[in-house]
């Protein structure tokens, strides 16, 4: 955590951080619904379904990191897997998708499971 | 270990067309309607008279100075601070300087305050009325049907919630009735609305309630708050600031930055 003086020397623009988080949130909720569609079509049940969701939302986070964050973040001298250049907390970046998308995932999973299997 | 045989229930495929799809479509359309109703009902911010505007802006000026003092040099900061503190303490920016020290008027009697409350009521109504209507519509038309099976097992406790209106004792709690599909829609459709209406939509009541908990900027100048006390508090806040500038020691940092 940078000290108060460092923050004042190189300030963080609140609007940009909010825009980043919102973009990430949109991506997460949209992909969660699509994962639900695919899990329902595959006919996954109980644990395998939730595992599918866990793996794929983490994969989304990794892909976002590799494709969007890493090129400028590594060039800016940050250590690998560090997202502080664009996001407030690493927790929000890596695991926020699990919470944001869960309701949408369950909805589409149930819907397509019902349509395809039952 | 013996496996419990899986229950299969043969359902008419027409159930999907006449129950599942109507509920889903109605939920999505209600969300969109709520979004546009909120957009249309949003009242313009009221015009303030010059004195009231000056009072608010002066207070904001003090706050901004307190938040951004580090970009000012020391003499210019002290000049601003001294001017603001004298003005705040003498009440030069007050809307009506004669009423200093008197208790604030009753917020209920102020017509401006009533307007704000009406706006809040309207938003609440836009949430409550469609929900009640849809709930009673589903209860009236679709109660007692089993339409779907959840893809994950649940404990027996959920049975009364998911299978409301279906009085079958031995049925697996995974089977759900139409009312539980309605609840799933309430929680899960936010992503669909995000996709359809953009991320700042007002379609989902859950997100709206989250927003209402958050801090409101309008509250600061709300009715029942004594502006004179706010000014005095702000003057005190300004007085205790220990000034330092971002340019302190900038030569040192520059030299470190260009070192070979």
- Assess if residue A75 is contained within a domain: yes
Q: Classify residue B27 by burial, with Cβ atoms within 10 Å: 0-12, 13-18, 19+.
A: buried
> Phi-psi region for residue B19, left (φ > 0), alpha (ψ -120 to 50) or beta?
alpha
Q: Answer yes or no: do B188 and A107 touch at CB < 8 A.
A: yes
Where helices occur in chain B by DSSP H, the ranges are: 14-15, 21-41, 50-67, 74-90, 111-142, 159-162, 178-188, 190-197, 205-213, 227-239, 250-257
pLDDT, mean of residues B78-84: 89
Whole-number Cα distances in Å, B161 to A1, B132, B155, B244 = 46, 18, 11, 61
| Residue A34 belongs to domain spanning | 13-117
CA angle centred on A8, ends A6 and A14, rounded to 5°? 110
Bridge partner list, B149:
B175
B186 burial type by CB count under 10 A (0-12 exposed, 13-18 middle, 19+ buried): middle
Residue of B nearest to A103 (CA): B188
Pick from B22, B72, B152 the residue to mutate for testing the A interface (most A CBs within 10 Å): B152
Per the structure, how many domains does chain A have?
1
**pLDDT at B218 exceeding the cut of 50:** no
Report the gap between the CA of A81 and the closest CA in chain B (Å): 25
Residue B256 has pLDDT above 50, yes or no: yes
pLDDT of residue A94: 81
| Cβ neighbourhood burial of B9 (10 Å; 0-12, 13-18, 19+) | exposed
A42 domain-assigned? yes
Query: Which of B171, B172, B188, B252 to mutate to probe the A interface, most A CBs <10 Å?
Result: B188
Rounded to the nearest integer, the mean pLDDT of chain B is 76
With respect to residue A77, please indicate whether it lies within any of the assigned structural domains.
Answer: yes
Token pair 């836009």 is found at: B126
ipTM given for this complex: 0.75
Residue A62 resides in a domain: yes
Q: Identify whether A102 is part of a domain.
A: yes
> What distance in Å separates the CA atoms of residue A41 and residue B151, rounded to the nearest whole number?
11
> pLDDT by residue (tens digit) across A48-66?
989 999 999 989 888 888 8
Residue A2 lies in a domain: no
Contacts of B153 in chain A (CB under 8 A): 46
With bands split at pLDDT 50, 70 and 90, how would you rate the model's confidence at B214? very low
What average pLDDT does the segment B223-236 reach? 78
Q: Least CB-CB distance to B190: which of A5, A103, A117?
A: A103
B189: nearest Cα among A118, A51, A54, A111? A111
Q: What are phi and psi of B95, to 5 degrees?
A: -65, -50
Q: In this structure, is residue A52 part of a structural domain?
A: yes
- Crossing angle of helices B21-41 and B178-188, in 10° steps, is 40
- Phi first, then psi: what are they for B175, rounded to 5°? -75, 135
Range name among A103-107, A108-112, B126-130, B211-215 with the lowest pLDDT average? B211-215
Q: Return d(Cα A44, Cα A36) in angstroms, integer.
A: 10
pLDDT-based confidence at residue A99 (cuts at 50, 70, 90): confident
Q: Do B191 and A9 touch (CB under 8 A)?
A: no
Is position A8 within any domain?
A: no
pLDDT bin (cut points 50, 70, 90) of residue B260 is: low
Contacts of B151 in chain A (CB under 8 A): 39-40, 44-46, 49, 109-110, 113
């Amino acid at each position: 955590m940078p000290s108060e003086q460092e923050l004042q020397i190189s300030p963080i623009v609140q609007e940009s951080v909010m825009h980043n988080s919102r973009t990430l949130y949109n991506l997460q909720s949209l992909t969660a619904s699509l994962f639900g569609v695919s899990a329902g079509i595959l006919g996954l049940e109980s644990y395998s379904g939730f595992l599918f969701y866990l793996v794929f939302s983490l994969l989304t986070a990794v892909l976002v990191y590799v494709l969007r964050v890493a090129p400028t973040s590594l060039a800016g001298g940050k250590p690998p897997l560090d997202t502080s250049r664009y996001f407030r907390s690493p927790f929000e970046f890596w695991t926020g998708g699990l919470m944001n998308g869960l309701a949408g995932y369950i909805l589409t999973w149930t819907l397509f499971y019902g349509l395809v299997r039952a | 270990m013996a496996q419990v045989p899986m229950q299969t229930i043969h359902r008419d495929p027409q159930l999907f067309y006449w129950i599942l799809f109507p509920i889903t479509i109605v939920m999505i359309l209600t969300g969109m309607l709520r979004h546009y109703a909120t957009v249309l009902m949003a009242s313009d911010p009221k015009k303030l008279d010059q004195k009231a505007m000056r009072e608010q802006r002066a207070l904001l000026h003090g706050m901004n100075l307190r938040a951004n003092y580090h970009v000012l040099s020391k003499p210019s900061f002290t000049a601003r601070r001294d001017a603001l503190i004298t003005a705040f303490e003498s009440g030069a920016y007050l809307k009506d300087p004669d009423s200093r020290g008197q208790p604030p008027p009753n917020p209920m009697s102020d017509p401006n305050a009533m307007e704000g409350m009406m706006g809040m009521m309207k938003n609440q109504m836009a949430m409550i009325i469609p929900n009640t209507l849809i709930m009673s519509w589903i209860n009236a038309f679709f109660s007692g049907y089993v339409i779907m099976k959840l893809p994950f097992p649940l404990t027996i406790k959920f049975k009364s919630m998911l299978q409301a209106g279906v009085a079958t004792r031995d049925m697996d709690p995974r089977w759900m009735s139409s009312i539980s599909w309605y609840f799933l829609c309430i929680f899960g459709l936010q992503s669909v609305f995000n996709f359809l209406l953009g991320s700042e939509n007002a379609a989902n009541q859950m997100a709206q309630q989250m927003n209402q908990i958050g801090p409101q900027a309008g509250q600061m100048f709300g009715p029942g708050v004594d502006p004179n006390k706010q000014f005095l508090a702000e003057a005190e806040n300004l007085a205790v600031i220990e000034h330092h500038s971002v340019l302190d020691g900038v030569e040192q940092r520059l030299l470190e930055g260009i070192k070979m």
